[in-house]
Amino acid sequence: MKKFLDLGLQPLANKYLTRKDLIIKRKEQFYHLEVGFDNKTKLVSILNKVSSQKMFDNNYPYRSSMSKTMTESFKKLSKEIIKTYKPKLILEIGSNDGSLIKNFNKKNAICVEPCKNLAKITKKKGFKTYAEYWDLKLAKKIKSKYHNVDLIYSANTLSHIANLDSVFKSISYLLSDNGILIIEDPSLLECLKRVAYDQFYNEHIYVFSLLGIINKIKKHNLQVFKVEKLKTHGGSIRYFIKKNLNLNIKIHNSVKKHLKDELNYKMNNFKTYIKFGEKVKKSKKNLISIFNNIKKKNKKIIGYGSTAKSVTVLNYCKIKSETLDYFVDTTPNKTCKYMPGTHIYIKNYRKSLLDDIDYIFLGAWNFKDEIFKKEKKFIKKGGKFITHIPTPKII
């Protein structure tokens, strides 16, 4: 693994602090966020990993149902899965608060979600939920009860698990011979193109490319047969995967096409990543200068969407509450708390909070369209947004 990016010391994303934590000066855990490229597998990953148990505990705040964009994307996919693959049994790894699985019949669906506070939600709705980490032991437990599973789905989860060999071995073991695996995660190609360095934080152990996925799954008898580009999370890829043995499914053109796009961008070449690292440094300088210029004019700036991604940006650029007054967010477990590292306060979103605001930093830049639609009044009265994607600018 060769390092190409150093984002400094970072706190754990999603570890929001309470008022009491600040008063008693509870020590936050920091880690060195460095990112590297493996020339053999072509995988990009962070170099200093934090254990799953520390990250995905029983108080995990992120809820996938908080955005309309995501719930609609899951609804559309669920319809497609039912129509195309007609699964008798679907298993979701990392089911979060059930925003995908709620579109399926309880009798034909199994959830795997290690964060007990989230697992509770799907359990309460009547879905069989294993509040455990995904590994071979769990796959064996599920197989002994249900035999084979014919569709496994996982969004924004497998890139969060360090041991990919264990992940794919367990999936291959549980999946029926004609079974389908569908995974989706942020796209490395889009991340590079958009200089979205905030896709790197402790939970995102990997940012996947098709090149890397193909290399990693082949030894587990798995094969990508189709890819779809998604707009979600700043550009994601949905990988449709089958077992090698299954010759009934043809390899779709999209695989060849996407591979070509990745190779044209020279994603197999370390130099590309070095160049990306240079762009990140420039992005930091320009974002800081935008904030400084606004503050010189005594204008008020807040953040919108206290994302894991913005934890990386704020800590890397050393932007604190002298610059950003506070964040607004709709997630119950984040509000009335403080951002990791920078300790910027997070208010529960109310439209009226934006009345006396001049500038909004888009923490959730990936939901720009959804947010712009919602905040027409703010835009109409002359309010401006600040984004760092693809280059720092005021919109």
Using CB under 6 A as the binding rule, the residues of this chain from 221 to 240 that contact ligand JHZ are: 233
Quote the DSSP letter at residue 248.
T
Nearest approach, Cβ of residue 280 and ligand JHZ (Å):
17
Q: In this chain, which of 156, 172, 223, 342 binds ligand JHZ, going by CB under 6 A?
A: 156
Give yes or no for residue 305 binding ligand JHZ (CB under 6 A). Answer: yes
The DSSP 8-state label assigned to residue 12 in this structure reads P
For position 308 contacting ligand JHZ by CB under 6 A, the verdict is yes
67 binds ligand JHZ (CB under 6 A): yes
- Shortest Cβ distance from residue 245 to ligand JHZ (Å)? 32
Query: At closest approach, how far in Å is the CB of 114 from ligand JHZ?
Result: 12
Q: At 282, phi and psi to the nearest 5?
A: -65, -40
- Cα–Cα distance measured from residue 38 to residue 40, given in angstroms and rounded to the nearest whole number: 5
CB distance 376 to 385 below 8 Å: no
DSSP 391: S
Residue 311 CB, shortest distance to ligand JHZ, in Å, is: 8
Q: How far is the CB of 56 from ligand JHZ (least distance, A)?
A: 9
Other CB atoms within 10 Å distance of the CB of residue 372: 14
Cβ proximity to ligand JHZ, 146 vs 349, nearer residue: 349
| SS3 assignment, position 274 | helix
CA neighbor of 234 nearest in space, from 193, 204, 182? 193
- Residues 355, 377 contacting (CB under 8 angstroms): no
Of 207, 273, 272, nearest to 234 (Cα)?
207
The distance of closest approach from Cβ of residue 319 to ligand JHZ in the complex, given in angstroms and rounded to an integer, is 16
Helices and strands (H, E) in the chain, number of each type: 13, 18
- Distance between CA 38 and CA 264 in Å, rounded? 18
Under the phi-then-psi rule, with left for phi > 0, alpha for psi from -120 to 50, and beta for the rest, what region is 144?
alpha
Q: Which of 52, 103, 170, 307 binds ligand JHZ (CB under 6 A)?
A: 307
Q: Of 13 and 280, which CB lies nearer to ligand JHZ in the complex structure?
A: 13
Q: Is 202 in the site for ligand JHZ (CB under 6 A)?
A: no
Q: Rounded CA gap, 219 and 244, in Å?
A: 10
Contact 122, 111 (CB under 8 A): yes
Q: Is 200 in the site for ligand JHZ (CB under 6 A)?
A: no
Using CB under 6 A as the binding criterion, the count of chain residues that bind ligand JHZ stands at 22
Binding mask 326-345 for ligand JHZ (x = CB under 6 A): ---xxx--x-----------
Q: What's the CA gap between 151 and 181, in Å, rounded?
A: 6
Q: Does 62 bind ligand JHZ (CB under 6 A)?
A: yes
Of the pair 103, 306, the CB lying nearest ligand JHZ is at 306
Least Cβ distance, residue 47 to ligand JHZ (angstroms): 18
By beta-carbon distance, which residue lies closest to ligand JHZ?
305
Question: Does residue number 66 form part of the binding site for ligand JHZ (CB under 6 A)?
Answer: yes
Site string for ligand JHZ, 358-387 (x = CB under 6 A): ------x-xx--xx--x-------------
349 binds ligand JHZ (CB under 6 A): yes
- 73 belongs to the binding site for ligand JHZ (CB under 6 A): no
Using CA atoms, how far apart are residues 126 and 279, in angstroms rounded to an integer? 48
Question: Strands 206-207 and 327-329: what pairing?
Answer: unpaired
Least distance to ligand JHZ, CB of residue 64, Å: 7
Q: In what side-by-side order are the strands of the sheet with 359-362?
A: 337-338, 345-348, 327-329, 301-304, 359-362, 384-387, 393-394
CB of 70 to ligand JHZ, least distance (A): 7
Which residues of the shown chain bind ligand JHZ in the complex (CB under 6 A)?
62, 66-67, 156, 203, 233, 305-309, 329-331, 334, 349, 364, 366-367, 370-371, 374
